[in-house]
Amino acid sequence: MLASNEAGNLTLNSGQSAVAEAGRAPELRIVVNPRDAVRWALYYPPIISFSPDDFKKGTEWSERVRKSLEFYRKGEIDKAFDSIDNVSEDIRDPRFFIYRASLLLTVGRVDEAGADIQQSLSLDPNYSDALALQTIIAVVQNDKEKALNIARVCRGKSCLCHGAYRSFICTAGQLRSGRRPIKP
């Protein structure tokens, strides 16, 4: 698209916006969607605790995750990401994708985390850690109905859910009903 007037013109791509004041050439303006600005600022509590022992030695990706965990525990998030950067996407273990999704959530990269959660669920549709992260995202984004629906799916599939997951399922269910959360 072309924005133009007597003072000049500007070619716009999809999603871009321009403003032109009288006597001045059009200028590119960044449009900020307030919902997007809030999404990256939300806190996603870590609920899944990983240990290097969760990732057995022997594969390149598991060794890189073990190294990433070392950096994460030292608070060196950038190095934790670097350690798993460019890992082959043909991994068939859902734990890798949930670890990376958890790491992504610590820095507010929700869309990327969501893709990893979906990848994990494509490998194991009943993977409780994936369902736990989906619930966390829904609760943090104040989507109580979605959190409750995930709980129903899990209950219907008889997922084996660990304490942190049950806690958030209870929280989501109690929020939905307007009651105080209960402990599992």
The whole-model pTM stands at 0.68
**Whether residue 52 is found in the same domain as residue 82:** yes
Instruction: Assess contact for 177 and 153: CB atoms under 8 A.
Output: no
pLDDT tens for each residue of the chain, 184 residues long: 777 888 888 787 766 777 888 888 888 776 655 555 455 567 777 777 888 888 988 899 999 999 999 999 999 999 999 999 999 889 999 999 999 999 999 988 999 999 999 999 999 988 888 888 898 888 888 888 888 888 777 665 555 554 345 545 555 555 555 544 444 4
**Whether residue 6 is found in the same domain as residue 73:** no
Residue 25 belongs to domain spanning: 2-31
CA dist 126 and 104 (Å) reads 21
- Per the structure, the count of domains in the chain is 2
Cα–Cα nearest to 59, from 91, 82, 103: 91
> Does 108 fall in a domain?
yes
> Does 182 fall in a domain?
no
Q: What is the DSSP string of 127-170?
A: -HHHHHHHHHHHHHTT-HHHHHHHHHHHHHHT----HHHHHHHH
Instruction: Assess contact for 27 and 10: CB atoms under 8 A.
Output: yes
Q: What is the DSSP letter of 33?
A: -
**Whether residue 54 is found in the same domain as residue 131:** yes
